[in-house]
Amino acid sequence: MKKIYRISDKGNPFTPNFSFMTLEIAFKNFIDVFGTKDLIVIADNCTDSTVDMLKRNGAKDIRRTYLGNSGSMKYEYEICYEEFDDNDIVYFSDDDFLYLPNPEKYIMEGLTIADYVSLYDHLDKYMTGGQNPFIHEGGEITRVVITSSCHWKFPNSIGLICATRVSTLKEDRDILWKYNFNGPKSCSFKTTLALINSGKKIVTPIPGRATACDLFPSPFIDWYKVAEKYM
């Protein structure tokens, strides 16, 4: 599995409920669960000290860029198109995520039933009146299935921190470009709605196996305890 990890010193990716987090904690966790094999790190607008931190924690293929959020995201896809084979599986991660152990196992299981796999069970999928307009009475209309070790649901949208095959990225290039690189800012919500409407299947595990360190973490997991190992 190929992995592409984006990190930047621009802005603060952590909300107050994740005040214990740092970029180094996030990267240590990522390396611990995914390893460094087949890993490309895009260090966008990063200081020398952040690049040194990446090297200290095992990163070898570090691409320093000054592209901004949308530009570095586009660069991720270009790497896939130009450097990977069609049958390669690629996982995209950002610097504000935490993971539970064995993520690759769950990704591979998810890809047996879907085209895109996100490990993040976004809390807003259970919040009536929140930022997701398709949530009613505390949930979304979906279908739940199982693989050998996990329940999965087909959500109405995901963020673009996910896994897929390079061949799928090529099939969906027009959608990815339309909603992420042709306007003032990217929109994962519109992107994944368009992917679903085109016939692509997207799954997330329940409970989640990862979280964004923001106001809507995957529920039922003590993410402080996950991070504490790397402090």
pLDDT surpasses 80 at 185: no
Name the pLDDT band for 162 (thresholds 50, 70, 90): very high
Name the pLDDT band for 131 (thresholds 50, 70, 90): confident
**Full set of structural domains in the chain with CATH:** 2-228 (3.90.550)
Convert the pLDDT of each residue in 78-99 to its tens digit: 999 999 999 999 999 999 999 9
How far is it, in rounded angstroms, from Cα 89 to Cα 92?
Answer: 10
**C-alpha distances in angstroms, 89 versus 84, 159, 187, 222?**
9, 18, 23, 29
pLDDT surpasses 70 at 22: yes
- Position 30 scores a pLDDT of 98
Provide mean pLDDT across the span 181-194.
84
Amino acid in the structure at residue 142: T
Q: Give this prediction's pTM.
A: 0.96
- Position 13 scores a pLDDT of 74
**158: burial class by Cβ within 10 Å (0-12, 13-18, 19+)?**
buried
